[in-house]
Amino acid sequence: MKNNIDVFLVIMGMIIGFTVIIMHLTAIWPCSAMGKIDKFFHSSNHDIGTLKIGNESLNIISGTHYLLTNLFRCT
């Protein structure tokens, strides 16, 4: 298992590199994506289609949104 750490690091590097390339091509950066997600949840009153989001799911979504906003230092 110790020999597979380099494989894990290469895979993580490839995922991060691919993500950065896609962000450059689409011009959607983390803060703009967070803003769009934030507008979606405020405009739909936490509805996804006909399904209502439960309190636990809403707490997870808002917590993740808070963490990512602070991580990327979005204003």
Q: Is the pTM of this model over 0.75?
A: no
- Residue 68: name the closest of 17, 41, 29 by CA: 29
pLDDT band for position 43 (50/70/90)?
A: low
4 vs 40 pLDDT, higher one: 4
- Percentage of the chain surpassing pLDDT 70? 72
Question: pLDDT by residue (tens digit) across 7-26?
Answer: 999 999 999 999 889 888 98
Integer Cα distance of 51 and 30 in angstroms: 27
